[in-house]
Structure 1
Amino acid sequence: METTGLYPFPKRIMSHEEENTEEGKDKLSNFSDTLLHHILSFLPTKYAVRTCILSKRWKYIWSSVTSLDFDDGLYNAEPGKKRIRAKVANFINFVDRVLIQNASSLDKFHLKCGSSCDFDHINAWICAAITRKVHQLCLSISMKQLLKLPHCLFTSEYLVKLELVGNFVLNVPSYICLSSLIILYLERVTFVDDVSVEQLFSSCPALEVLTIDDCRWDNVKNFDLSIPTLNCLTIYHCNSTGHKIRFNLPALAVLTYASYAPEQFIVDDLSSLIEASIGVGLSDDQYKIKCSMHGDCVHALLEGVAHVKILDLDGDTMETLSFAAEHPYLPIFPNLKRLGLGVCKNYGWGMLPDLLECSPILEVLQFYEGLVHTEGQRKFNWDSPQSVPYCLLSHLKSIEISEFEGDDQEFKVIKFLVKNARTLERLVVTFREGRVVVEEQLEIAQKQQLKIAEKFLNLQKGSRHCSILIGTSFGSIYIKGLKG
């Protein structure tokens, strides 16, 4: 066996013809070192290092690669404590040796490891990457205990992208400056208090993209998002509820919020916002109360984003909004052109007429979860309004309905919309995919869908130019409108 000092490899046997003829040379060897470094940067480092046995030229090519990707999951071990310990020791030894022999400045350092690795080693590797002026640092660490990050990470002037996935605690130091950071992704991270939140975000003067996913902020009372440069914000599944969220984001163009209702939304500045996707649900404890505070909270957020051109509201948001003291009054959406709606499992479509009335120039209406919820009380709550919303008479061009079941209540909504939408150009309906066990069930489902689809032939249309496209399990049915 030939050993590189990093990983054992079988000795390569080279034929006489390979050594002495052009035909034996591989095409990759004709590439420049720069190009080879770029190619190897797409491989996990474990496999990049293995290329050192290909030839004398390849022996040290890997050591100048600027992207390092370590994953202890690639080091398989059979069950047994000794084997697992040996696997962990091999992984730690491998990372240590690579970092010693690779002295290049780093574009990317990706580390994924489990609880078997001790955090002293992990911290040392992070510091080594920071010392190499790393641009992209991605850490995914599976440990039960809280993990404190080294202070050097918070003062890197070269870091452009930072991903933290794991039980990290953001106990930031008194001095922090991430002057080049553009992208920040935080998943399962714990925010310590109000001060740490303010320190972190105020020290990222170039931040443009922020994602906060499944994080904890139990001890945070005011989650203050005051970031002048931020362009895209995503907040998912944060489990805390007793706090206020403040948006002071003058450059923000895209907002996605899908989490529990906080105590209060405060919108100071979202003046550049173009697109918002809002999903505000209630925790089990909040749902037991269902007080107007939760609905008023959603109402305040909608007022703050009312100038957007694209808006998605899921079913939970509409149900939470229904508890508002000011319901059914909604803000006017003067610029809204595309509205996507989820289906509320307990409240139905009682709010749909108000939403349409408040969207005077709406062009596209999407029901991306269908018209009937598969769970809950399956309430429909639809009564045709006495007056037709202005957008139906003058602007609406497209209606898209997914997860269609074909029952009579769904047709009530469709009939009203299609009858009164005078500028409608297309109606797209896609049936819900059912679970088919045998071929006979598929044939029955196809016949049922075809029978339902025939009802669309008799729809009274406010626009003679409206075409109808129906997606079924056996293909698409197209009902053409008149031209011109």
Structure 2
Amino acid sequence: MNSIIATKRLPPEQTVVEGEGIISKLHESILGKILSFLPTTDAVHTSVLSKGWIHVWKSITGLQFNDALHPLGKKMQKEHFVCFVKKVILHLANSSIQSFSLCLTCYHYDSTLVSAWISSILQRGVQNLHIQYADEILFPSCSLFSCNSLVQLVLQMKCTISVPIFSSLPNLQNLSISGIRLVSESSNYSEDLILNFPVLKVLEARGCEWLTKQNIGIKAPLLERFSIAIWNSLSNKSHKSAIKIFAPNLADFSYGGDLEQEIILLNSASIHSASVVIVADEDKMTNVGKLGFQVHKLLAQIREVKQLKLLFYKVLMHARDIFTHLPAFSRLSYLQLNEVTGEALLNILNNCPILSSLVLQNGVSESNKDHVLTSASVPQCFLSSLKVFQFKEFNVREHELLLAKFVLANAAVLEQMIICTAFWLRYSEIDVEKVKDQILSFPKCSNLVMIQF
């Protein structure tokens, strides 16, 4: 028994040595993959462990460069960082790189230098590429569209990408771009500019400029989520081209912008969740009718959604009739609004026959027609489906009390009314408790409703 115990209880020094021996015996390719999980500066520093580790870092398959990371607690000078990146890229033993992350936030770099780094990595068959840089660079467009190995591409930077007339990234599954200007490789071509992404599942584009004379067609048969934020009113250039999305499996759609550039969703019946955020540019309100038309056109494309977040900013003050000709949302069960009058709300609810949850994010705006609530016909959803009514930023104004009263009096299956009073009320002289009692005293059509403050 004593001999068995003695063999199990090894001295700590012997345990460490044997552990190091096991790791050192692993093949370099395996060690390279392990070191790829570290920041590249740390991976290279393993060369000081022993003679056997001097060249192990050259087998890494993932590179992570970040000039804001401070190895050994000291900030790396710009010149040292540039030399380090050059050295690593030059001496890598692998002809292919699985992932490359470059985050430049501390210094300004020569544009051609950063471009050369990206081009070198693209030529090594990288699968995951992530670039973050605030300054303008000349992006190696040819290297990008000839890199068929890309699976994930994240570009958060200022650059111009020249797009071929017919371009395809056959293995790309996730694309996220922001701050990019996309231009056509040929300005004389009159047909649509087609981007083929046969296996793309997620596409996010924020603050990008689509500067092409042709319409842009994005073909992505497996696309599940598409999010675009596009503010053309911030640019002095005219944008006439439309962005067409061919995505029969699209389930989640998000738009934020000023509707200066048209978004066309083809095969949009599969979309079940949508978010539309529209901000009116007060300097470009000469054609209010166009804004209303564009809103209706966009909403008509997503009328089959089950969940909808519809947020307007500075829109109603310029286009108050924007809710008068809405499509019927026959499948909509959840609706969130932020800028709406009582009259406009009724127009929307009359087009949502099976709505079960309604959230007013910013209360309701007052209009000279809100008296219609006293004699309005009851929407179908009030009679059969509306169960949750959430009233945020409740300001205790007469038209808001009137709306709460209308909902309680007519929502036959309502289960919850949640009222969140505006923050400023706690510093006002309004007796909030008295207001609560007033609301609690309103006649209720549903016997199940619970009112929460």
Question: Same-fold call, TM > 0.5?
Answer: yes
Does structure 1 residue 202 correspond to structure 2 residue 195?
yes
2:296 to 289, 292, 299: 299
**Equivalent residues in 2 for 1:256-405, closer than 5 Å:** 256-262=254-260, 264-287=262-285, 289-316=286-313, 319=316, 322=319, 328-344=324-340, 348-367=341-360, 369-372=361-364, 382-383=370-371, 384=373, 386-405=376-395
Q: Where do residues 206-221 of structure 1 align in structure 2 (5 Å cutoff)?
A: 206-220=199-213
CA distance in 1, matches of 2:33, 2:431: 55
Q: Are the structure 2 counterparts of residues 201 and 453 from structure 1 closer, same or farther at C-alpha, using a change threshold of 3 Å? A: farther
The answer to whether 1:163 aligns with 2:154 is: yes
**Matched residue type, 2:290:** M
Q: Which residue of 1 aligns with 2:5?
A: none
| Matching residue of 1:80 | none
**Residue 396 (structure 2) pairs with residue 406 (structure 1):** yes
Listed one character per residue, the Cα deviations across residues 62-107 of structure 1 (whole Å, up to 9, x for unaligned) are 443332111223369xxxxxxx9x9222111111122234334433
Please show how residues 429-448 of structure 1 align to structure 2 within 5 Å. Answer: 429-433=419-423
Counterpart in the other structure of 1:7: none
Q: CA deviation at 1:42?
A: 4.5
Match of 1:228 among 221, 224, 229: 221
Assess, with a 3 A threshold, how the Cα gap between structure 1 residues 88 and 361 changes in structure 2: closer, same or farther.
same
Shift of 1:316: 3.3
The 8 Å contact of residues 266 and 300 in structure 1, kept in 2 or not, is answered as no
Could you list the per-position Cα deviations for residues 366-425 of structure 1 after superposition, in whole angstroms to 9, with x for gaps in the alignment?
Answer: 12x22057xxxx758533152100001100111123333333332221221122111111
Q: Which of 439, 443, 448 is equivalent to 1:460?
A: 443
CA distance in 2, matches of 1:306, 1:24: 65
Q: Which residue of 2 aligns with 1:474?
A: none
The number of residues matched between the two structures is 426
**CA distance, structure 1, for counterparts of residue 272 and residue 438 of structure 2:** 38
Within a 5 Å distance, the mapping from 1:82-121 to structure 2 comes to: 87-104=77-94, 105-113=96-104, 116-121=108-113
Distance 1:414 1:58 in 2: 72
Paired with 1:22 and 1:428, the residues of 2 have a C-alpha distance of 66
1:445 positional shift: 7.2
What is residue 178 of structure 1 aligned with on the other side? 169
Q: Which amino acid aligns with 1:343?
A: E
Counterpart amino acid of 1:136? N
1:423 matched residue in structure 2: 413
- Superposed CA deviations along residues 294-343 of structure 1, whole A, max 9, x for unmatched, are 2111111111111111111112396389466x861221111111111112
Partner Cα separation in structure 1 for residue 326 and residue 113 of structure 2: 55
Please give the alpha-carbon distance, in whole angstroms, between the structure 2 residues aligned to 1:195 and 1:321: 39
The percent identity for this pair of structures is: 28
Residues 142 and 329 (structure 1), Cα distance of their counterparts in 2 relative to 1, 3 Å cut:
closer
Query: What residue identity is the alignment partner of 2:126?
Result: V
TM-score normalised over the length of structure 2: 0.81
Does structure 2 conserve the Cα–Cα contact (< 8 Å) formed by 1:161 and 1:184? yes
Deviates more, 1:304-313 or 1:267-276: 267-276
Give the letter for the 1:122 counterpart: V
TM-score by length of 1: 0.76
Q: Distance in 1 between matches of 2:19 and 2:417?
A: 54
Amino acid in the other structure paired with 2:157:
G
Q: 1:402 to 1:50 in 2, by over 3 A?
A: farther
Contact 2:47 2:56 in 1 (8 A): yes
Match of 2:103, SS state, is strand
Residues 151 and 171, structure 2, Cα contact 8 Å, conserved in 1 = yes
String of CA shifts for 1:101-138, please: whole Å, max 9, x gaps: 43344332111225632233223322332233211101
Where do 5+ consecutive residues of structure 2 fail to align? 1-10
Deviation at 1:160, TM superposition (A): 0.6
Separation (CA, whole Å) in 1 of partners of 2:398 and 2:121: 62
- Does 1:141 pair with 2:133? yes
SS of 2:291's partner is helix
